[in-house]
Amino acid sequence: MTVPVSVVSPDDGEHVDLGPARLRILEDGATTGHRLGVAEITLAPRSPGPPQHRHAEHDEGFYVVSGTARFTVGTDDYEAPPGTFVMVPPGAPHTFANPGDEPLVMVNTFTPDLYVQYFRDMREAVSAGASMQDAATETMPRYATTPATDYA
């Protein structure tokens, strides 16, 4: 018996447009038994990311492919040039932004794949007219995620 393997070419994957952010879902959990989800995130120049938040049920990883991200963890800022990897465990307050003049491209992992559907739900809210930040705040509670308001 052959175990199915997922191969996603550069033009494939499910695309999710969130205004200044675009995601390409590379693994929605179907191949990994829902243990892992993976997306490519492209954030426009000089754009904020989501409001600072905490996940209760999943780890989140970010690998910077191009551009430079600014990660905020609590009150600490970290510049993340290409080649940087950031791993966020459950409970850690975090967000990211693109303060630069070129698009930021990152590979984002979620274990388990809980957050893949979050991005799909955000797409619906943005399509209905919400800003990316408002859509994120509205959608987070459905995915064991809360805004980290103590750092806002």
Handedness of CA 54, 40, 104, 122 (dihedral sign): negative
- pLDDT, one tens digit per residue, over 17-46 is 999 999 999 999 999 999 999 999 999 999
Quote the pTM value. Answer: 0.92
> What CATH class does 14-116 carry?
mainly beta
**In terms of C-beta density within 10 A (0-12 exposed, 13-18 middle, 19 or more buried), how is residue 8 classed?**
middle
- pLDDT, one tens digit per residue, over 119-141 is 999 999 999 999 988 998 899 99
Residues in the chain: 152
Strongest mean pLDDT among 47-56, 77-86, 114-123: 77-86
CA-based end-to-end distance of the chain:
52
Asked if 64 and 104 touch (Cβ cutoff 8 Å), the reply is yes
Which residues, 6 or more positions from 45, have their beta carbon under 8 angstroms from its beta carbon? 67, 98, 100, 101, 102, 103, 104
User: Cα–Cα distance between 23 and 26 in angstroms, integer?
Assistant: 9
pLDDT at 152: 54
pLDDT at 3: 76
